[in-house]
Amino acid sequence: MTAQLAMASLALTIHLWMAFVFAIDIPASPPSTHTVVSPNFLGVSFELSSVTTYFGNDTSTIPQPMVNYIAGIRARTGDASVRLRIGGNSADSSIYVESQTSPMAVPNGQNANADDQSINYGPVLFEALAKMGQMAGGADYLFSVPLLNPNGTIPKLVADAKGSLGDSLNALLLGNEPDLYQAHKERPNIANYTVAVYETEFSGTVDILQSTFDNFAGPTICCSWNLVDVLNAGYLSKFALKYVTLQHYPQNFCPGLGMEHQQFFLPYYMQHSNVVTLAAWQSPAYQTITKNNSANAPRLVLSEFNSASCGGIPGLSDTFAVGGLWIADYALQLASVGYTAAYAHTREPGITYNLVTPPAGGNGNWTTNPPYYATIAIAEALRTDNGGIVVDLNLSDSTQAGYAVYDAKNSSVTRLILFNYASEPTQFTLPVTVFAGNAGKTALVKFLASASGANETTNVSWGGKTFAGVGDGKSAIDATWAGAPQNLNLQCTDGCNFNATGVSMAVVFLDNAQFAETAGPTTSGSSASPQATNSNSAPHISGLALGAFGTVFVATAVLLFLM
């Protein structure tokens, strides 16, 4: 009887396991319609009213830690400069004052709204931006000029920006979220502020500026309008745009709403399907933009995003799960659906979604927040010889997600980026066929991880290095709290496995970039820590395997590989 029960139990276990195994083909090559992205895909957006915090009062007071942070991103973007954007609500309401020197930006008292702090700023700002780019090794800027309150200083503003920044002035964003002008009572004399009215205003500013500068971007809508309606109104035919820009947050946490109105909580940000849905916002218009591959065609850019509008949500936006993994997952999803770039927003100190936190009073140690780690990890993940094509592997699992990055020239898979949102470890199995273009059948795995899981805010590491306790933004140290090596060298002659800790991201380097990275020895250990083994090792729990014919197998229970 005992033997019969045991056999029945085994049969039930096998049946349940089979029910939870499914396969998804990994394309041998990327789709014919795709967008090629650069390692600088994930940029940083700064609120104009906060520029003195991060760029100083003039060219002699630029904070060295901030230079180090930008240089840290630049060191990972290959031939591409770091993408920086200066804008936000404050850029649409602030005033350019040609005579303003040091400090280069000061509040002008015209707007007491914490989420729209109007300032006066002068030409020294552009000198400081140029100096930052030089010190950090290269930066390309998007800069917002006002459409909300256009005035006679705009031509001089643009001329000075171009004079100081030169070719590093990537494009001008004309206006900021014009689809909210009417809701914010910014056009009181217009009964219905429509797309047609907006395009008339946009055209007027372009006419004034195009003799000085001609790389424009818009419409930078966020909320109330559909991009397809803007395009159908002739936006692309009327204006020679460099970028079609959007801004979007998954939820609103603006003053007056309160915690009781919070719509999404931590589980929302830890489910990949929600990232897919969010990135599909305005998707009916994507094909109109991405199908034009000519050299001068406008590219799609998300010029501002983060976890929640109006500064984020305490205890959520500053966590590793949201600021680290969600930002990385969302950035990759945007790259996979046609965006050329995306900019994670940073504001004044005290805002919970900021990439970094300066010391109170200006002197002391800076703090590195989870979004900064996501930024440098994505730069490395997308650094390929000829540009990258990002493809979502469409894993139908609530706690796992994956992307393949193809080389844009030879269509080989150069990276696999694998997310484990589960609290328990996941084993990933790489078959030998993944290494078709890799004669040595080797790989390097680097982890984006934290000391305590999803809610961690400080002890975060990328490739085993952390800025926790480091105040200069430069001298990353070993993450001694990590329970196992965070870099793994894999020898995969017959395929190989590795374990990823709960709530982490693994980047698998399959091309020669792995040899330029610093990696530790291949290790073995418990299933609770990263480990490397061969593909014929013991059965695993909650694993994801890349099958022998470019197929992904996902198992949620112990037993066998179906190769």
pLDDT at 2 over 60: no
pLDDT at 536 over 50: no
| Poorest-pLDDT segment among 185-189, 271-275, 393-397 | 393-397
- Identify the CA nearest to 198 among candidates 228, 218, 173, 213: 218
Going along the chain from its start, the domains and CATH numbers come out as: 19-32+387-555 (2.60.40.1180), 42-381 (3.20.20.80)
Q: CA–CA distance from 445 to each of 236, 448, 550 (Å)?
A: 43, 10, 19
- Identify the CA nearest to 543 among candidates 506, 489, 492: 506
* 106-120 pLDDT per residue, tens: 999 886 677 889 999
Q: How far is Cα 201 from Cα 183, in angstroms, rounded to an integer?
A: 17
Sequence-separated (6 or more) residues with CB below 8 Å from residue 109: 118
Overall average pLDDT of the 428-447 stretch: 85
Query: Beta partners for 172?
Result: 143, 216
Are the CB atoms for 325 and 21 separated by under 8 Å?
no
DSSP helix, strand, coil percent of the chain (3-state; round to 5): 30, 25, 45
What's the confidence (pLDDT) of residue 559? 26
To the nearest whole percent, how much of the chain has pLDDT over 90?
Answer: 72
What's the confidence (pLDDT) of residue 401? 94
Which carries the bigger pLDDT value, residue 15 or residue 550? 550
Say whether 367 sits in a helix, a strand or coil.
strand
pLDDT at 323 over 70: yes
pLDDT at 540 over 80: no
Would the CA dihedral through 469, 475, 476, 478 be positive or negative?
A: negative
Q: What is the 8-class DSSP label of residue 27?
A: P
Are the CB atoms for 342 and 336 separated by under 8 Å?
no
Which carries the bigger pLDDT value, residue 398 or residue 332? 332
What's the confidence (pLDDT) of residue 112? 65
Are the CB atoms for 161 and 233 separated by under 8 Å?
no
Are the CB atoms for 388 and 37 separated by under 8 Å?
yes
pLDDT at 534 over 80: no
Q: How far is Cα 244 from Cα 252, in angstroms, rounded to an integer?
A: 23
* 345-386 pLDDT per residue, tens: 999 999 999 999 999 987 899 999 999 999 999 999 999 999
The pLDDT-based confidence of 547 (bands split at 50, 70, 90) is: very low
* 487-533 pLDDT per residue, tens: 999 999 988 889 999 999 999 999 888 877 544 333 333 333 344 44
The pLDDT-based confidence of 29 (bands split at 50, 70, 90) is: confident
What's the confidence (pLDDT) of residue 469? 94
Per-residue burial over 106-124, b = 16 or more CB atoms within 10 Å of its CB, e = otherwise: beeeebeeebbbbbbbbbb
Sequence-separated (6 or more) residues with CB below 8 Å from residue 62: 55, 56, 128, 131, 132, 135
What's the confidence (pLDDT) of residue 436? 77
Q: How far is Cα 536 from Cα 529, in angstroms, rounded to an integer?
A: 19
pLDDT at 76 over 80: yes
The pLDDT-based confidence of 560 (bands split at 50, 70, 90) is: very low
What's the confidence (pLDDT) of residue 396? 73
Overall average pLDDT of the 26-39 stretch: 89
What's the confidence (pLDDT) of residue 25? 52
